Amino acid sequence: MARDRAFSKAEIRMFSIVNGTVGRGDYFKAYLLQGSFEQVDHNLFKKGNKELIQLNNNNGIWQYENKMLPEDRGSFTQFVANRMDLRKEISTKFDPVLYTLAAILVWKFHRDYQGEKKRIYSKVKKKLKRINEKSEQNQGKKR
């Protein structure tokens, strides 16, 4: 269902923030791997026989192209929007409502992924601190 009006300034700002922030990180690759894609090559991912996704970094922003369906290409947000069809088909027809929902989902994925990375980093940091403390204690005993 397409809308009759243009995007609001707030929506355009949200898209800009989402695409600029999320498009620069490693989120796209993480999303593909969590979405049952198989990594075939450094920036090439495959899912079944309908999707062969090539990621390209253009001026610091990750873009994709589906080698099996050339019109299926664009940003991370566009990737999600093209796959929101309930019939499990890839739709390359632009729908502003789906694009808005996709931007929200991509931002949520970004937040969750960042939180997970911070949690893991914190655990590793604590373990390293314990290892260093034990090492210092052992060196003190040897002296």
Q: Which residues touch 85 (CB under 8 Å, ≥6 apart)?
A: 91
Tell me which amino acid residue 46 is: K
pLDDT tens per residue across all 143 residues of the chain: 444 556 677 776 766 666 666 666 677 888 898 888 999 999 999 999 889 999 998 888 889 999 999 999 998 888 888 888 766 667 667 777 777 777 777 777 777 877 777 777 677 777 777 777 777 777 766 65
What is the residue extent of each domain of the chain?
9-142
Would the pTM of this model clear 0.75, i.e. be above it?
A: no
Q: Are 53 and 46 in contact (CB under 8 A)?
A: yes
